[in-house]
Amino acid sequence: MLSLGPLRAASLISECMYCRKARVLAVNPLKGHFCLQKNYSTLPDDVKSLRTIITPVVSKIRNIGIMAHIDAGKTTTTERMLYYSGYTRTLGDVDDGDTVTDFMAQERERGITIQSAAVTFDWKGYRINLIDTPGHVDFTVEVERSLRVLDGAVAVFDASAGVEAQSLTVWRQADKHHIPRICFLNKMDKNGASFTHAVESIKEKLKTKPLLLQLPIGEAKSFRGIVDVITKEQVIWKAAAALDDGKIFERKPLKETDDLVLLRDASDARNTLIEQVADLDDEFAELVLGEFSESFDSLPAEKLHSAVRRVTLARKAVPVFCGSALKNKGVQPLLDAISMYLPAPDECHYDFMKWYKDDLCALAFKVLHDKQRGPLVFLRIYSGIMKPQSAVYNINKNCVERMSRLLLPFADQQIEISSLTAGNIALTVGLKQSATGDTIVSSKASAMAAARQAGRDVGSKRGRSSGVENFLLAGIEVPEPVFFCTIEPSSMARQPDLDRALTCLQREDPSLKVKIDADTGQTILCGMGELHIEIIHDRIKREYGLDTYLGPLQIAYRETIQNSVQAQDTLDRSIGEKRHQVTAQIGVRPWEGDTSATVPVIEYAENICDSIQPDLREAIENGVHTSYLQGPCLGFPLQDVVVTVNAVATNSDTSLTMVSACVSRCMQKALKRADKQVLEPVMNLEITVSDHHLGAVLGDLAQRRGSIREIQSRPDDKVVLASVPLAEMMGYSTVLRSLTSGSATFTLEFASYQVMSPHEQTALLQKKSGLA
């Protein structure tokens, strides 16, 4: 506990300058401010001063995610980690809703983790940054983003259930991002827990090689500890009389006088492990075949440790550990394993890092809005040093921002620090423009220098220099939002509050888009899925105290045309003394480029091209853009249309607004005459399913207008790659579950907008006009 020394505690009870709650405050000479709330001391016993917590060596940093199926025990495990490392005083409990990491009210109530918060703590000289990854499919963007900032992961499984669908999805995403992992079989105390079955399901479902580094001692009710396979030691948690918090455990070598069966199992497991690792690692194989070919018994533990580390980092195998977070067993060895087997930031490779060298490059991976302090931005620093009171440059927003404070995040607690180096996770105050997914560097000059460097490297490799900017960015792409619905405040007076709330939410979540319907003036939310929009709705109520009404959930279609058409239109109005006269001649035709045109491609007829003044040109293009947002069939935005301005004639009094209005109207006229076509979002669907259920899944896909691109064979699964219109995918997870008894998993990703068949289009138009 941080000593308050002679300071009078009573006089220190005041409002914390960060969290604004009445708390006991201590002011550190190094300018650290600490909340000493009842459950949290902000510094653990063994941290004597702030200096020790601000300078970790990069090799001692672990940026780790915990990924798990909902309810596998991710939150409980995280809590225990914080407790054993000394950052929390009492054990939080998800069932009581008082854990540190699930700090959004909603998460506490739903008991699921929606937002990825980062928590930093130290364990035996290692700095561990835990990045909490969300478990639900609708939050794939969040998962992807957190995978981007972490270097390794712990997959937590319920030992009574084995590998469940959701963890399979996240596991595949981690494969895609090349993330080394270790597994923790949690809930070993639970009825029905089976170490063997859980390991089998890891082998089968995850198609990976589990390395058993532990064996459980007892199972279900009798679970009391673990055997360390490498050292052949047993670790037993003894219930202390008063407090069974798992802090006290005994580690001692297994002897023949102990459990003979256990000793034999441990020896067998060790031999198997050595053989497995020797198969995967040449350096270790040489050692085993040479010096230790007679007997493995004398093989030093460190040699085995480092070989296991190498195969883990190379993602050739996955070490498996077990325990019970709830019953406080097995978490300390898991922390040891994180420091021992998962990579340090400098062991990971990111493309863009080499362009920056020692200059600052960081990725904003999370924005939270604090009522008092404004936006708090979580950053992963890839290179360089970050300091408070400094200006930084945001590449995505092309702007310079000032960072006022730099904090170390401890879930909902933070400690102020004076600098932070590459590999770390920082929380900043003062960045007003930066949003989730933005890349932050020291200055525009630094970004340009990196771009030149990247241009040389990329250009020489690919023989071209365009598109270099993308290499500089640390962020990930945000997919198109494909669902939308209207949102209304309870009264018009609350509209400005709603607008503010939505601005904040958009910065936190780039997959949320907000727009205004041009006709009705209604606010429209566009999102990634049903749950996504529901959560946003919920957050507006809880965090901003606003009651809002959502319209029905709809699919975001687009429109285009299939032939070329000309139109002419004239506006003639007298306003006051002035007569505004304008005539426009506009042609529209289909765009035939390689990539789709979501903004209008505007051309001018040769004879007028040079004679149009810039302000007139701007007015014309405004008019075109306005019309582009509203297609002729259903009012959805246009795509792939080329607009040719053939003539625009005005008189001297005509205002530019009138020009825009006339151009817009003329273009609408042309569009209405053209052969109209609705485009619908088509998704890439990837289903992993057993041979046994393949037929049922394919039959169902055929009814959903799905087209199968490929069926890949795996040892005992099939992977179906298909394209399916989004409109056919409502409620698919429930259907797939019942078709396959829950054994199949799927991922759904936006692919492109595609032409609807005449039959489907007619049905849609009838439905929209209320005829069907």
Tell me, residue by residue from 281 to 320, as one string, x for binding to ligand GDP by CB under 6 A and - for no binding.
----------------------------------------
d(CA 34, CA 309) in angstroms, rounded, equals 37
Report the DSSP pairing between strands 578-590 and 565-575: antiparallel
Cα separation, 741 vs 693, whole angstroms: 9
**Per-residue contact flags (x/-) with ligand GDP for residues 110 to 139, judged by CB under 6 A:** -xxx--------------------------
Q: Is 74 in the site for ligand GDP (CB under 6 A)?
A: yes
Residue 16 binding result from Mg ion, ligand GDP, none, given CB thresholds of 5 to 8 Å by partner type: none
Paired with 488 in beta bridges are 549
From Mg ion, ligand GDP, none, which one binds at residue 434 (CB under 5 to 8 Å depending on kind)?
none
- The SS3 of residue 44 is coil
Cβ-based nearer residue to ligand GDP, 76 or 761: 76
Whose Cβ is closer to Mg ion: residue 75's or residue 414's? 75
3-state secondary structure of 656: helix
3-state DSSP assignment of residue 672 = helix
Question: Which one of residues 58, 70, 285, 313 is an interface residue with ligand GDP (CB under 6 A)?
Answer: 70
Of residues 66 and 536, the one with the C-beta less far from ligand GDP:
66
- Residue 410's nearest CA partner among 99, 38, 106 is 99
Residues between 39 and 68 with contacts to ligand GDP, criterion CB under 6 A: 68
Other Cβ atoms within 10 Å of 612 Cβ, number: 15
Say which entry of ligand GDP, Mg ion, none residue 338 contacts (CB below 5 to 8 A, set by partner kind): none
Report the residue from 145, 148, 187, 513 that binds ligand GDP according to the rule CB under 6 A: 187
For residue 63, the partner it binds in Mg ion, ligand GDP, none, with Cβ less than 5 to 8 A by kind, is none
Nearer to Mg ion, 147 or 273 (CB): 147
Which entry of ligand GDP, Mg ion, none binds 73, CB below 5 to 8 A by partner kind? ligand GDP
163 to 182, contacts with ligand GDP by CB under 6 A? none
Q: Residue 583's closest CA among 671, 644, 666, 670?
A: 666
For ligand GDP, the binding residues in 189-218 under the rule CB under 6 A are: 189-190
Q: Count Cβ atoms below 10 Å from residue 736 Cβ, excluding itself.
A: 21
Q: Which is nearer to ligand GDP, 91 or 487 (CB)?
A: 91
Distance spanning both ends of the chain, measured CA to CA: 70
638-655 burial: b if 16+ Cβ within 10 Å, else e: bbbbbbbbbebebeeebe
Q: Which two tokens stand for residue 159?
A: 């030992």
Q: Which residue lies nearer to ligand GDP by CB, 324 or 424?
A: 324
- DSSP code string of 431-486: --S--TT-EEES-HHHHHHHHHHHHHHHHHHHS--TTHHHHH--S-PPPPP-EEEE
Annotate each residue in 613-652 with x if it binds ligand GDP (CB under 6 A) or - if it does not, as one string.
----------------------------------------
Backbone dihedral angles phi then psi of residue 90, each to the nearest 5 degrees: -125, 160
Give the number of residues in contact with ligand GDP, rule: CB under 6 A: 21
DSSP β-bridge partners for residue 725? 682
Among 206, 213, 326, 512, binds ligand GDP (CB under 6 A): 326
With 0-12 / 13-18 / 19 or more C-beta atoms within 10 angstroms meaning exposed / middle / buried, residue 439 is buried
Angle between helices 495-508 and 530-544 (to 10 degrees): 120
Where in 617-763 does DSSP place strands (E)?
641-650, 676-690, 707-713, 717-725, 745-755
Q: Is the Cβ of residue 324 or residue 650 nearer to ligand GDP in the bound state?
A: 324
User: Which does residue 325 bind out of Mg ion, ligand GDP, none, counting CB within 5 to 8 angstroms by kind?
Assistant: ligand GDP
Binding site for Mg ion (CB under 5 A): 74-75, 113
374 interface partner picked from ligand GDP, Mg ion, none, CB below 5 to 8 A per type: none
Q: What character string, x for contact with ligand GDP (CB under 6 A) and - otherwise, covers 75-94? A: xx-----------------x
Tell me the closest approach of the beta carbon of residue 534 to Mg ion, in angstroms.
Answer: 18
Which range in 38-46, 324-332, 687-695, 758-766 contacts ligand GDP by CB under 6 A? Answer: 324-332
Query: Half-sphere exposure of 252 toward its Cβ, with a 13 Å CA cutoff?
Result: 9
Provide the binding-site residues for ligand GDP, judged by CB under 6 A.
Answer: 68, 70-76, 94-95, 111-113, 186-187, 189-190, 324-327
